Structure 1
C-alpha cells in the first residue's frame, strides 16, 4: 500500500509541476473549465486558490501515508519539505508567461498540506482502531 501512495505522491508532484508550467491563458481556461464542470459559482471563493488548497491537501495526505509520518519530528519535517516544494513551485511558475510567484499561494499550499497530513493521521488511526475492534 505504501508503494501506491509513493506513486500517487510522485504523480501529484508531477501534476503540480505541469500546472505551474502553463501560461496564464491556458491556466485560466483550465480553471474556468473546472468551475463550469462542477457548476462552481461561489463569489467569495476563488477556484484557483481552492485548487491550490486541494492539490496540496492531496499531496500531504499521500506523502504522509507513503512515508509513514508518525512522530512530531516527522510531521514538521514533512511540513518543511512541502513548504519548500511550494516555494520552488511558485518560483518555477514565475518562468511561465503571464504568471508570477505569490507568497499567499505558498501559505494556501502549506495549509492544504497541513490538513492533508492530519487527515491521513486520523484515517490511519481510525483504520487501526476499526481493524483491532472486536465489535465488528
Structure 2
C-alpha cells in the first residue's frame, strides 16, 4: 500500500510540473486571455478586480496564479520527499526544489513568443512554496500543542 502511495505522489508531482511547463509554453496573448478569464470569474462571484486594482488587475491575477501554482508544487514535492528524507531535509529540499523549478520555468519562458523570464516571478513562486511550508509547520505545531 505504501508503494502505491509513493507512485501516486510521484505521478501527481510530475503531472503538476507538466501543467506548469504547458502553461508557461503558451504565447503571451493566450496567457493574457486566461488572466482576463479569471478576472471575469471573479466578477461573477462579486469581486470586481478591475475596479479594485484598475489596470493592475491582470498583473495581480497573474502573480497570484504564480504564487498559488508553486504552493501546490511545494505540497506535491513534500508528499514525495517525505518518503525519502527526514523532516529537516524535506523542508530545505522543498525550498531548493521550488526555487530551482521556478528558475527553470523563467528560463523556459525566454524562448516562448511574447513571454519573458523575470527573477521577480522566481521570488513570487518561491514565496508561494515557502508559504505552504510555513502553513504546514504551523499546522504541525498546533497538533503538537493539542497533544500536550
Match of 2:95 among 69, 79, 84: 79
Is 1:108 aligned to residue 124 of structure 2?
A: yes
Report if the CA contact (8 A) 1:61-1:119 is conserved. no
Report if the CA contact (8 A) 2:81-2:90 is conserved. no
Q: Which runs of 4+ in 1 moved over 4 A?
A: none
Question: What TM-score does the superposition give when structure 1 sets the normalisation length?
Answer: 0.81
Match of 1:15 among 6, 13, 19: 19
Gaps in structure 1 of 5+ consecutive residues: none
Q: Give CA deviations for 1:73-124 in whole Å, capped at 9, x if unaligned.
A: 331122112111101100001111111011000000000011123334455x
1:51–1:18 distance in 2 versus 1, CA, 3 Å: same
Is 1:32 aligned to residue 36 of structure 2?
A: yes
Aligned Cα root-mean-square deviation (Å): 2.5
Q: Distance in 2 between matches of 1:61 and 1:72?
A: 15
Larger Rg: 2
- Greater relative contact order (CA < 8 Å, ≥ 6 in sequence): 1
TM-superposed CA distance for 1:70, in Å, is 4.4
TM-superposed CA distance for 1:30, in Å, is 0.8
Partner of 2:9: 5
Gaps in structure 2 of 5+ consecutive residues: none
Q: Distance in 1 between matches of 2:18 and 2:136?
A: 21
Q: Distance in 1 between matches of 2:35 and 2:114?
A: 15
Q: Which moved more, 1:112-121 or 1:30-39?
A: 112-121
